Chains A and B, each alone.
Chain A
Amino acid sequence: MQNGTAIQVQDLKKNFGNFAAVRGVNFEVQAGQIFSLLGPNGAGKSTTISMLAGLLQPSGGDARIHGHSICQELQAVKASLGVVPQDVALYPDLSARENLEFWGKMYGLRGGTLARRVDEVLEIIGLTDRQKGKVGTFSGGMKRRVNIGAALVHRPKVIIMDEPTVGIDPQSRRNILDSVKELNRKGMTVLYTTHYMEEAQELSDQIAIMDQGKVIACGTHAELVRIVGELDRIDLTLASESALLVETWRKIPGVHSLTPQDGQVTLLVEDSNLVLPRLFDAASQSQARITSVNIFEPNLEAVFLHLTGKALRN
């Protein structure tokens, strides 16, 4: 890991009319880290990174990328960034190589340097053999890889990836996650947004959990999990909803919190081995039928549930 702060976000805000999409976000990313912004859709992750990438002007606050202010030195900020958009943003009628060359040129690369960098990137994304193929003819996963490659040609200090694995097959997703780790091993700072808890957990040195335009928690995975202590999460599905049973469960010793939603009840409990039989007893007395049970060790989902009272997937 390198020394120094790569990204410093200070009280960043963005309003769209009366709607506050980002409400004073603060975080710091150290150089060489993978930093994930985790949160459900609409949490403000994409708006935050759009401001960092210069696509949106902040309504308030500022951010510095390698010391350059996004409000005052946007050109310098843009030159040091590589941005991987959420959707594939490539020219489908140009080949993979032509696309990479074009995006390299947009960062001032020319001639032999450009050719070498494009060769390197093709190697990284594993498409050297398909470099002459039109991007429009590629599979979704291959397009995603070229999409990432286009942000790497100019060797940016910081790469911003906005949910790069949305809507792709597991194999391509695995490739992308491995690529991100590989880039990070080579010293690149990565700011990664996702609503997949597992991705954030697997990749990140630091994670900021966002909800409703705010960072509600920030730290390493271990630090975040400690927020909920050693609570286990139990998901129970009932054959039919029962408000009375839910209230009974809430009063059972060891139940820390309980969230009913669409026939499923999510509980944070101190020890699932002790609490689970009591839950079944109560259900039996209420003549309610439990159709499924899932027990989870403490994780980011539990953290999010603990902090917001709702599941991350929602």
Chain B
Amino acid sequence: MEIIDITIKDLKRVFKDIFSLVMMFAAPLLIAGLLYFAFGGLTKGDATYKMPETKVVIANLDQPGSPGFAAGEMMVEFLQDSSLQDILAVSLASDESSARAAVDSRKAGVAIIIPPDFTEAAISPDRTAAVSIYQDPTLTIGPSVVSELVNHFMDAFSGSKIAAQTATGMLSSRGVQVSENVAGQIAQSYAAWQQSSRHEEKKAIPDMVIVSPAGEVQASVQKAVPIGLIVAGMITLFVFFIAGYGAESIIREDEEGTLGRLFTTPISQAFILSGKFLAVVVTLCIQIALLLLVSALIFGISWGNPVTVILVSSGLIVAAAGFGIMLMSFIKNSRQTGPVMGGVMTLLGMLGGLFSVAIPNLPSSVDKITLVTPHGWAMQGWKLALAGSSPIQAILPVFVLFLMGFAFLAIGVILFRRRFA
């Protein structure tokens, strides 16, 4: 019974402490929300990242000299491609001034002006042409994406010109004179091949988030970072933090003299430590339950099979509580707590991948590194839960979390018993 009394007393102290409450509930939701919005997640109840649509107006002034190849038209088709329709709304303007006027009047975010000699420049080795991009200065992401797309398209033509120059040079070195017309045809052939291969390549590329290194943009971003993972990362981080903070009560009580006074009562040391451990566990249960509930309401996260969620939460609680007790058993006084806990929790959070859940397409080796920490295993558990996995499918991370938790606890208890012997 005295164990429960110690637990209740510790819970009273924790829930009267504003700092604890902020770190327990406000901070994880606030940071998760900021990360979510920073990555553009503006839709409620949608687990995928959707980039806002950018209105683009194109003034295609290109006047191809020969029939059959029109670079300006190709650029228009490229930007009107169905794969980009979720992020670009393309319309055409008859001339440059009306395209610019559309941006000025905020009817469009970006205007692209394709010059009259665009095709000529594309096929002629010696000529150049400039495509102008005129943008609403208040926009950032949309115009950047459009600019990347245009650059990507232009790179293809640069490639065709280089191909034509190379072919012409090689033929000339062997005594074959190549006319300007033939050089143009080589450039056209290269551009056509490049265009078709780009489509093939695009089919082979899996869905990605925002911009790949090649500047490729996928409109369908179904594998984008779910808010669920971001919130799960923050829950894991702050659960470990609160576990450490809760376990710190042993150090604080030692300094306040109340731990020594407890040792003068008929309660054994084992009961006193058990009561304090139970307080940490109950605190974490309340924290996780509320965070899961509130995040489901605010962000519309579906956490998956309830039994799986309970299992993962339990594993996380045991691992975090055990880790908190162990960490505090190494700390001599409460002045050390802040720097040590801040440093260790942040480092483990980084190693455990809690801050990189929002970064897409990380190498698989990073995933493996995360598994040296309980945080990484907790994230594995959350990923499985969010994917709707059954309890059986989530059993490995849960088992590892329990194992780690009990090992941490054993070390912590041994060290504390030595200290207070």
Known: A85-B257, A88-B257, A102-B5. A93 touches B265 (CB 8 A): no
A73 to B393, CA, bound (A): 52
Q: Is the CB of A91 within 8 A of B257?
A: no
- In the complex, whether A31 has a CB less than 8 A from a CB of chain B is no
- In the complex, whether B256 has a CB less than 8 A from a CB of chain A is yes
Q: Is the CB of A89 within 8 A of B13?
A: no
Q: Which of A54, A75, A102 contacts B9 (CB 8 A)?
A: A102
A98 to B1, CA, bound (A): 17
Q: Which residue of B lies closest to A86 (CB)?
A: B257
- In the complex, whether B202 has a CB less than 8 A from a CB of chain A is no
Q: Is the CB of A55 within 8 A of B263?
A: yes
Q: Which residue of B lies closest to A87 (CB)?
A: B257
Considering only residues 77-119 of chain A, those with a C-beta below 8 Å from chain B are 78-79, 81, 83, 85, 87-94, 98, 102-103, 105-108, 110
Interface size on A, residues (CB 8 A): 26
Known: A102-B5, A106-B265, A107-B266. A85 touches B12 (CB 8 A): no
A75 to B263, CA, bound (A): 10
Q: Is the CB of A83 within 8 A of B5?
A: no
Q: Is the CB of B260 within 8 A of A106?
A: no
Q: Is the CB of A89 within 8 A of B5?
A: no
Q: Is the CB of A90 within 8 A of B12?
A: no
> Which residues from chain B contact A87 at a C-beta distance below 8 Å?
257
- In the complex, whether B174 has a CB less than 8 A from a CB of chain A is no
- In the complex, whether A65 has a CB less than 8 A from a CB of chain B is no
- In the complex, whether A180 has a CB less than 8 A from a CB of chain B is no
Give, as a whole number of angstroms, the nearest-CB distance from B253 to chain A.
9
- In the complex, whether A188 has a CB less than 8 A from a CB of chain B is no
- In the complex, whether A53 has a CB less than 8 A from a CB of chain B is yes
Q: Which of B12, B13, B256, B264 contacts A83 (CB 8 A)?
A: B264
Give, as a whole number of angstroms, the nearest-CB distance from A182 to chain B.
22
A106 to B267, CA, bound (A): 7
- In the complex, whether B261 has a CB less than 8 A from a CB of chain A is yes
Q: Is the CB of A54 within 8 A of B263?
A: yes
For chains A and B in complex, what number of residue pairs have CB atoms within 8 angstroms? 59
Interface size on B, residues (CB 8 A): 19
A110 to B4, CA, bound (A): 13
Chain B interface main SS type: helix
> Which residues from chain A contact B265 at a C-beta distance below 8 Å?
78, 103, 106-107
Q: Is the CB of B13 within 8 A of A93?
A: yes
- In the complex, whether B262 has a CB less than 8 A from a CB of chain A is yes
A150 to B262, CA, bound (A): 11
> Which residues from chain B contact A81 at a C-beta distance below 8 Å?
264
Q: Which residue of A lies closest to B12 (CB)?
A: A94
> Which residues from chain A contact B16 at a C-beta distance below 8 Å?
93
- In the complex, whether B17 has a CB less than 8 A from a CB of chain A is yes
Give, as a whole number of angstroms, the nearest-CB distance from A54 to chain B.
6
- In the complex, whether B212 has a CB less than 8 A from a CB of chain A is no
Give, as a whole number of angstroms, the nearest-CB distance from B231 to chain A.
30
A94 to B249, CA, bound (A): 14
Q: Is the CB of A89 within 8 A of B260?
A: yes
Q: Is the CB of A106 within 8 A of B12?
A: no
> Which residues from chain A contact B266 at a C-beta distance below 8 Å?
75, 78-79, 106-108
Known: A55-B263, A94-B13. A106 touches B258 (CB 8 A): no
Q: Which residue of B lies closest to A102 (CB)?
A: B9
- In the complex, whether B2 has a CB less than 8 A from a CB of chain A is yes
CB-defined interface of B388-420 with A at 8 Å, one 1/0 digit per residue? Answer: 000000000000000000000000000000000
> Which residues from chain B contact A93 at a C-beta distance below 8 Å?
13, 16-17
Q: Which residue of B lies closest to A52 (CB)?
A: B264
Q: Is the CB of B17 within 8 A of A55?
A: no
Question: Shortest 6 CB-CB distances between A and B: which pairs?
Answer: A89-B257, A106-B265, A89-B261, A83-B264, A105-B5, A78-B266
What would 10 more interface pairs be, CB under 8 Å, given A89-B260, A106-B5, A107-B266? A54-B264, A55-B260, A78-B265, A85-B257, A92-B256, A93-B16, A98-B9, A102-B5, A103-B261, A106-B267
- Interface pairs (30), CB distance under 8 Å: A54-B264, A55-B263, A55-B264, A78-B265, A78-B266, A81-B264, A83-B261, A85-B261, A89-B261, A90-B256, A90-B258, A92-B256, A94-B9, A94-B12, A94-B13, A98-B12, A103-B261, A103-B265, A105-B1, A105-B2, A105-B5, A106-B5, A106-B262, A106-B267, A107-B265, A107-B266, A108-B2, A108-B266, A110-B1, A150-B261
Show the binding face of A for B, using Cβ within 8 Å: 53-55, 75, 78-79, 81, 83, 85, 87-94, 98, 102-103, 105-108, 110, 150
